[in-house]
Amino acid sequence: MRNLGVGRAGWLWLCLVGLVFWAGCGSEPETQEPEPSQTTGYEFSPPSQQMQVSGLMATIPERKIHATLEPKLPKFQRCFFHGSEDVEFIGGHFRFYFRVNLQGQVEWVYPQESSVGHRGTERCLLDEAKKTRFPEPKGGDVAELAWGFELEPAGDVRAPVVWDAGRVASVVAEQRASVEACGSGSYQVTAYVAPGGSVMAAGAAADSIEAAEAIDCVVDAVKGWTMPDPGSYAAKVSFEL
């Protein structure tokens, strides 16, 4: 795919679409980072204030979670910008699931949901998320929280044709054995399909931290599949494994 100019304004629209959290204990929020650089061409909206709370773990106040994670947006944006050099119409939603220890450090984080479809970008997001330092949770031993956002390609980038999972159901059924060696777990896979049917990029989310350890294996297997031919332009499809 063509390399996008770094200075293009309005390249992607980034939108935070909510967060769900359970919580644990830590220290001071991470130092505020600068506003998104105009060299990335990103614009983003304020996060949704709609939250759901569940479980008996400790809690972190909503405002502190926002204050901790929103300053990381410029780094998350850069992950997508670099990914667009490989897949110019990259986009979709992404939800992190964190466990935070008593010192506010991230014990682990994995992709609970993703329709990004580009494993390199997903790894970049997770690498940045692991560096997050949360404030002290109250009332328990550890915190678990989910936080996500959604982005779409800019209007001047033609989006791929979107397929429903039924378009690739026969391929998934035939190829399922190729991912069984990766281990047990459930995965939400998103792939970009090039003209001719080859998989040009793929990414995935998992249903647990244990399953997430096998995502690279699952993605590598899917990238070797041959999908239906989308015709003259690329397609994007999400399916369950």
Q: At what angle do helices 73-83 and 119-130 cross, to 10 degrees?
A: 160
Question: What domains sit in the chain, N to C, each tagged with a CATH number?
Answer: 12-153 (no CATH), 161-240 (3.30.1150)
pTM score of the predicted model: 0.80
Q: What is the pLDDT of residues 11-58, one digit of tens each?
A: 444 555 444 444 333 333 344 444 444 444 434 434 444 433 333 477
- What percentage of the chain exceeds 70 in pLDDT? 76
**Would you give the distance in Å from CA 132 to the centre of its chain?**
16
| DSSP-derived 3-state class of residue 118 | coil
CB 143 within 8 A of CB 98: yes
